[in-house]
Amino acid sequence: MAHPSRLSAVIALVFYLISASAAKELRSIFDDLKAQRTLVYTPEEEAQHFSRFKKELQAKSEFMSSDKMGDLYDETRPAIMQSLVDEINSKQNTWTASTEQGRFYGASIGDVKILCGTFMNGTEQLKEKIYPPEDLLDLPDSFDARDGFKECEDVIGHVRDQSACGSCWAFGTVEAFNDRLCIKSGGQFKDLLSPGHMLACCNLLNGCFALGCLGGNPTSSWKWLFLVGLVTGDDFTPSVFMNEYAGCWPYDFRPCNHLLGGANYRACPEVMYKTPSCATSCPNDKYRTPFKEDRHFTDDLNPTQFYNTDSIKREIMTNGPVSAAFDVYADFPTYKHGVYKHTYGEYLGGHAVKILGWGNYQGEDYWNKNWGDHGFFKIANKDSGINTLVLGAAASLH
């Protein structure tokens, strides 16, 4: 009879040989896919890609065809690569791409796709607002709502973070509505409104064309503001730090950076968060205003749509920022400063933002201050479909 220790040693050796063989085969598969796509890596980028590819492949339980293996390779590719940045900067001079993107350091293309949660189709026909010619005279060459509405500067300029959730469709609407409510109140209302409330409750069961963290349609979210209303809610606040000033429904997910995290940010998870459950009472039990009384509404059942560039400008100057949606391509996450124009890379998904000014269009993203120009970006007029779904509605003070 074999001695137990010898048997254990034999089993360990066999396991090691199998593991070593599998690792060698996996590396061979990765190198073949790399050769097919002719990607140019830095050593750090290649190590990051192989590590993520290996991790996600090992998590798969089903057989993978060569095509699916290729798809996985593409999804786990680093979102920010030096060769991509160099390619973009060599092709144009209107904007600067950079690898210095704390929000996406270590992120994969698949991670960025998670954030692009706006359904660009399925929008019902909306009434377009076109300002009369006399209202479009003498529009300034540039305008920033933070300067134009000084009493609401802090609200308009507040940069939020959707975290690892495709909730941009909610953020774009909530942020624009928040600004408009502050402006209409003459700066009296400066509380932050809750994208978490909209994310959890504006869903198919409640008549919204939205699937929580899996995405949603901005038209539905604007209608929901009229029909249901929105409670207040600060950025993510740990339960132990909840107080009466954090609002009724603070955002459910932490701000994050990928891989190494960063100052004041934890590392983002590699999987999408699950959509929070809808509630009809404030998750923050220290907030004093009852849920029903805390809701804020628009005056319009259907949002107004704006196509005309000058009408968009006049609307922002008159009533405040508007929500917008556009097509995101692989070059956009590399944006650092300048006026973005799609230059290079594949389509990643639809994304919602708010437009707060122009010279060219100036927008706010929801990827925290460690992305882009401290959380903001400029995009060329009509680029990437930025004009196709510009929406707004009048805030109600009642």
Q: Return the CATH architecture of domain 109-392.
A: Alpha-Beta Complex (3.90)
| Of the candidate ranges 10-19, 42-51, 248-257, 376-385, the one whose mean pLDDT is the lowest | 10-19
Q: How many Å apart are CA 221 and CA 173, to the nearest integer?
A: 7
- Return the pLDDT at 210: 97
> What pLDDT, on a 0 to 100 scale, did the predictor assign at position 23?
75
Q: Per-residue pLDDT averaged across 159-174, rounded?
A: 98
Q: Is the Cβ–Cβ distance between 252 and 154 less than 8 Å?
A: no
6 band by pLDDT with thresholds 50, 70 and 90: low
Cis peptide before 360 (omega within 30 of 0): yes
User: What is the tens place of the pLDDT at every residue in 16-56?
Assistant: 444 666 778 889 999 999 999 989 999 999 999 999 999 99
What's phi and psi for 308, nearest 5 deg? -65, 130
pLDDT given at position 24: 81
What is the number of alpha carbons within 13 Å of residue 124 lying toward its C-beta? 13
Q: Give every CB contact of residue 278 below 8 A, 6+ residues apart in sequence.
A: 200, 201, 203, 206
Residue 123 has pLDDT above 70, yes or no: no
* Band of residue 150 on the pLDDT scale cut at 50, 70, 90: very high
Residue type, 3: H
3-state DSSP percent of the chain in helix, strand and coil, to 5 = 40, 15, 45
Give one DSSP letter per residue of 239-271, joined into a string: GGG--TTS-SS--SS--EESSS-BTTBEEPPSS
pLDDT value of position 12: 45
Residue 118 DSSP code: B
User: Bigger pLDDT: 299 or 366?
Assistant: 299
Instruction: Specify whether the CB–CB gap between 33 and 69 falls below 8 A.
Output: yes
User: How confident is the model at residue 38, as a pLDDT?
Assistant: 86
117's torsion region: left (phi>0), alpha (psi -120 to 50) or beta?
alpha
For residue 10, the model assigns a pLDDT of 41
SS3 label, residue 144: strand
Span 261-276, pLDDT tens digits: 455 688 888 899 999 9
CA 258 – CA 99 distance, rounded (Å):
13
Please determine, for residue 13, whether its predicted confidence score (pLDDT) is greater than 50. Answer: no
Averaged pLDDT, 1-17: 48
Q: Are 392 and 316 in contact (CB under 8 A)?
A: no
Mean pLDDT, range 203-226, rounded to an integer: 96
- Distance, CA of 292 to CA of 289 (rounded, Å): 8
The mean of the pLDDT values for the chain is 92
Mean pLDDT of 308-327: 98
The pLDDT of residue 197: 99
Which residues are paired to 296 by β-bridges? 230
Amino acid code (one letter) for 9: A
* pLDDT tens digits, 354-374: 999 998 667 888 788 889 999
Average pLDDT over residues 302-330: 97
Does residue 214 surpass a pLDDT of 80? Answer: yes
Strand partners, 23: none
> What pLDDT does residue 227 have?
97
Peptide bond before residue 381 is cis, with ω within 30 degrees of 0: no
Neighbours of 111 (CB within 10 A): 24
Residue 367 CB-half CA count within 13 A: 32
Query: Is pLDDT of 14 > 70?
Result: no
Q: Which amino acid is at 287?
A: Y
40/35 Cα distance (integer angstroms): 10
- What is the reported pLDDT for 368? 87
Quick one: residue 87, left, alpha or beta (phi over 0 = left, psi -120 to 50 = alpha)?
A: alpha
Output the CA–CA distances (angstroms, integers) from residue 179 to 94, 152, 153, 204, in the order listed: 29, 7, 9, 27
Angle at 283 between CA 353 and CA 269, to 5 degrees: 55
Q: What is the pLDDT of residue 20?
A: 61
Q: Where in the chain is the domain with CATH 3.90.70.10?
A: 109-392
DSSP per-residue codes, 290-308: -TGGG-B-BS-SS-EEE-S
